Amino acid sequence: MKQVILTLNAGSSSLKFALFPPEGDIPLATGLVDRIGADGEMRLKDGNGGALPLPKGGDYTSHTRSLATALVALEMSFPGLSVAAVGHRVVHGGPDFAAPVRVDETVLSALDRLSPFAPLHQPHNLAGIRAAIETFPHALQVACFDTAFHRGHSFENDAFALPRAYFDKGIRRYGFHGLSYDYVSGHLAMIDPDLAQGRVIIAHLGNGASMCALNGGRSVTSTMGFSALDGLAMGTRCGQIDPGALLYLMQQEGMDGDAISDLLYKRSGLLGLSGLSHDMRELEAADTPEARQAVGYFIARIRRELGGLTAVLGGLDALIFTAGIGENSAPVRAAVCKGMDWLGLSIDETRNEQNAPLLSKDGAKVRVMVLPTNEELVIARGARRLVADSERPAA
C-alpha cells in the first residue's frame, strides 16, 4: 500500500484519528477511542461511514496502548499499512508557530513550555505526539495548531490593557479553532473566490464555540482570547465573564485556582445555565424555562459578537455557520439572524430548515451559508505538505 497520513486529536481520555490516502480529501478510515484508562472502547468507520472490524480484547489502558490497538485495527482493514506522517492537533502554538511544524526534540520542548497556557488540553496533545513517536518511530510527526490561523493580528486585537510586561510574558489573545477556520475559509475560496476576499464572519458553534472575523481570507480577530474560555458561552464553558466576578469568587467565597478552573471549564455554559445538559439537541427538545434561557443566552452572545466583529471589519459580506450546532440547528441560526435586516442579513426559512449551503434570501446584501468544517483534513494537508518538503532535494 502507498504511504498514508494518520491524523490524531488526543484529549484527556480520548483519541480521535483518521487515515488519509496520499492524495484526496476522503479519509480511508476515521476512528475514536473513548474512556482511555477506564473501560475504553473504540469505534472505527470507513470513508463512507460503514463500520470496520475491530481486534478482540483491545488494550485501551493508555494513549500509547490505545494507539497500538488502533494500528492493529487499521492493519486488519488496510494490510501493509505504511504511515508516512502523523499529523497532530495541538491546541497551543504560542505567539510564534504560525504554520504546521515538524516535531523534533526542540519543538517538543517548546510545546511543553506552552502547557501552562492550556493545561487542560496541551499535555494530552503532547501525550498523543509521544505515543505516536513510540508507535511510528519512522514517520514524520507534524504539529498543527489551533492558534496558528490567528497569528498576524494587529496589536489592538492581540493585547489586553494590562501593563506591557504581561503582554511580553504571553498574557495576550491567541484565538483558537484555527484549523476549522482554515478549512472553512479555504472551502469558501474554492466555491466563491470573490466572496472569500471580502469581509467574512465564521461562527464555529460546537461544544466549543467561537467566531472569527476575516478580511481577504485572513483572520483579523476572534472571540476567543488567551484561553478557549473567552467569548461565546459553550457546552460547559462560561465564555466572556467580568474578571471582577472571579476576584469575588476568590476573595469572598474562598475558591482557589482549581475550583475556579473546574467551574469555568466544566460546570458553566449551556450546562450551568440550564442545569440540565451541555448538549444543544437535548436543550432544544427540553421544555423548561432554564433550558430556554440557556439557549437564549447562547444566541444573545452570538448576536452581540456579530455586531462587534462586523464593526471591526467595517461591514459584512458573508456570515458562515459551521460545527455541530452551526451545521444542524435551524432554530439557532434563525434566532441569530432574526431582525438583522438592518445589516442586510436575512435568511430564507425553507433553506434554513434544509441546512442548505446558501441560507440568505436572493438579493440579500450579506450571504449567509452553512459550510461543514473538516479539521482532520486541514491536519492531513499540513502533514502532506511537510512530507513533500522533506522529500524535496535540498537546493
Contacts of 192 (CB under 8 A, 6+ apart): 367
Q: What is the largest CA-CA distance in the chain?
A: 66
Task: Work out how close the CB of 36 gets to ligand ADP at its nearest, in angstroms, rounded to a whole number.
Answer: 17
Residue listed under C-alpha cell 482493514: 77
Query: How distant, in Å, are the alpha carbons of 81, 95, 132, 383, 388 from that of 103?
Result: 22, 17, 11, 11, 15
Name the region of 80 (left: φ>0; alpha: ψ -120 to 50; beta: rest): left
Length of the chain: 395
Q: What is the DSSP letter of 343?
A: G
Cα–Cα distance between 294 and 269 in angstroms, integer? Answer: 8
Cell 532535494 belongs to residue: 393
Residue (198 or 208) nearer to ligand ADP, CB: 208
Helix 122-135 with 63-77: angle, nearest 10 deg: 50
- What is the smallest separation between the CB atom of 90 and ligand ADP, expressed in angstroms? 16
Which ranges in 252-374 belong to alpha helices (H)? Answer: 257-266, 269-274, 280-285, 289-313, 323-328, 330-337, 349-353
Cβ proximity of 210 and 204 under 8 Å? yes
**Closer to ligand ADP at the Cβ: 103 or 271?**
271
Catalytic residue among 25, 146, 192, 194: 146
CA torsion sign, 289 to 324 to 51 to 65? negative
Shortest spacing between CB 177 and ligand ADP, in angstroms: 9
* 265-292 residues labelled b (16+ CB within 10 A) or e (exposed): beebbbbbbbeebbbbeebbebeeeebe
- Beta-strand pair 209-215/41-46: unpaired
Residue partners of 237: CB distance under 8 A and separation at least 6: 208, 228, 229, 264, 265, 268, 269
Q: Tell me whether residue 115 or residue 328 sits nearer to ligand ADP (CB atom).
A: 328
The CB-of-233 to ligand ADP minimum distance in angstroms stands at: 12
Separation between Cα atoms, residue 224 and residue 323, nearest integer Å: 16
Nearest-approach distance from CB 209 to ligand ADP, in angstroms: 8
Q: How far is the CB of 334 from ligand ADP (least distance, A)?
A: 12
Backbone angles phi, psi at 74, to 5 degrees: -65, -40
192 vs 284, beta carbon nearer ligand ADP: 284
Footprint on this chain of ligand ADP (rule: CB under 6 A): 206-208, 235, 279-281, 284, 323-325, 328-329
Is residue 146 flagged as an active site residue? Answer: yes
Residue sitting closest to ligand ADP (CB):
324
> Least CB distance from residue 140 to ligand ADP, whole Å?
26
Cell of 193: 473566490
* Comparison of 150 and 237: residue with beta carbon closer to ligand ADP: 237
CB of 12: closest distance to ligand ADP in angstroms? Answer: 13
Give catalytic residues, as residue numbers: 146
